[in-house]
Amino acid sequence: MSDTVLNHGYIPEEHAPDPVIGHGDPTPPGKVGIWLFLASEIMFFVAILGSYVILRSGSHELFAKHALALSKPLAGINTLVLIFSSLTMALAVDASQKGKRNKTIICLFITFLCAAGFLGIKAIEYTSKFKHHTIVARESANGPLYVYDGHLHEEDAASMTIEGYRMPVPEHGSIDIHLISEHDVMNGGIEPAEAGQKSEKAMETFTIPKSEIAQDIIYGPWKNIFYADYFTLTGIHAIHVIGGMFPIAFLCIFAIRGKLLPHHTEYVGLYWHFVDLVWIFLFPLLYLI
């Protein structure tokens, strides 16, 4: 180190002689923390969505065909529910910052209800998928082999009743029940899906003797990679919703007990909007395109 004294020009901060008091940014630590957490959440979803994008571009047909079996109306309603809950959450934050206790309580409560409603609708969707079977079976012993695809209507010890479609198993080759979709069976063959076009064929009811079932699979995540993505993405999102319900409930209880926590409400609000934001992207990616 030399002894040169500089009285002019640029002095690097680390050598600047005077303490710099305060660091300029008014953001409270909690907010920095929650935004950092959200940044890492972004990366989490990016990884799963990235895998979705890749798998989808690798098997576009499959994704397009199977996406048709998802319920657009239910998901649309769910989107609205979540957007609405986001609105009430924002209002709750605003109210608690202004010290309006009653409005805070009401808004938080509605948010909580919306979250529960969202999960309820999600549960309906899931159960409908778990009741959706693809079955390769004969109608009767020695009869022709069919592929059935539809929702389980009734089940007893000897037979299953399915509401949906069926098509004969082709003479040559074999069928992979993981890949075949409702759309294929409805059209009676495997042809490229004209995306978005669900033809108007009416459903029928079939009774299948259990003894004649060769293969049976439900529309669970193991059905194929589309459903793997669908269940993983929506499942993880649902876990985030559940994770958000607890703090919202606590905030609500505290507000009822007379303690408004404007900072905490704001942080929970940020998280909640993020959950909403994720759904805003999941909805078109899974259901619409």
Q: Which of 105, 175, 186, 238 binds other proteins (CB under 8 A)?
A: 175
User: Counting contacts by CB under 8 A, is residue 141 touching other proteins?
Assistant: no
Candidates 119-127, 160-168, 188-196, 205-213: pick the segment binding other proteins (CB under 8 A).
188-196
Closer Cβ to other proteins, 236 or 249, answer by number: 236
Which candidate, 221, 224, 222, 212, places its Cα nearest to that of 181? 224
User: Counting contacts by CB under 8 A, is residue 179 touching other proteins?
Assistant: yes
User: Counting contacts by CB under 8 A, is residue 33 touching other proteins?
Assistant: yes
User: Counting contacts by CB under 8 A, is residue 1 touching other proteins?
Assistant: yes
Closer Cβ to other proteins, 35 or 140, answer by number: 35
Question: Minimum distance between the CB of residue 153 and other proteins, rounded to whole angstroms?
Answer: 19
Question: Minimum distance between the CB of residue 259 and other proteins, rounded to whole angstroms?
Answer: 8
CA distances from 171 to 104, 120, 145, 228, 286 (A): 66, 44, 10, 30, 34
Give residues with Cβ within 8 angstroms of 201, minimum separation 6: 165, 186, 187
Q: Which amino acid is at 97?
A: Q
206's enclosing H/E stretch is: strand 204-209
Question: Minimum distance between the CB of residue 148 and other proteins, rounded to whole angstroms?
Answer: 15
User: Counting contacts by CB under 8 A, is residue 110 touching other proteins?
Assistant: no
161's enclosing H/E stretch is: strand 159-168
Task: Assess contact for 108 and 248: CB atoms under 8 A.
Answer: yes
Site track for other proteins across 37-76, x = CB under 8 A: x-xxxxxxxxxx-xx-xxx-xxxxxx---------x---x
Closer Cβ to other proteins, 145 or 270, answer by number: 270
Structure tokens belonging to residue 160: 């299953």
Q: Which of residues 87-106 bind other proteins (CB under 8 A)?
A: 87, 89-91, 94, 97-98
Closer Cβ to other proteins, 55 or 119, answer by number: 55
- Torsion over CA: 110, 250, 118, 226 (sign): positive
Closer Cβ to other proteins, 14 or 156, answer by number: 14
Give residues with Cβ within 8 angstroms of 21, minimum separation 6: none
Which candidate, 286, 148, 270, 138, places its Cα nearest to that of 204? 148
Distance CA 184, CA 174 (A): 15
Candidates 82-90, 108-116, 121-129, 154-162: pick the segment binding other proteins (CB under 8 A).
82-90
- DSSP letter for 169, please: P
Question: Minimum distance between the CB of residue 123 and other proteins, rounded to whole angstroms?
Answer: 15
Question: Minimum distance between the CB of residue 162 and other proteins, rounded to whole angstroms?
Answer: 17
Closer Cβ to other proteins, 25 or 156, answer by number: 25
Rg (CA), the chain: 27
User: Counting contacts by CB under 8 A, is residue 109 touching other proteins?
Assistant: no
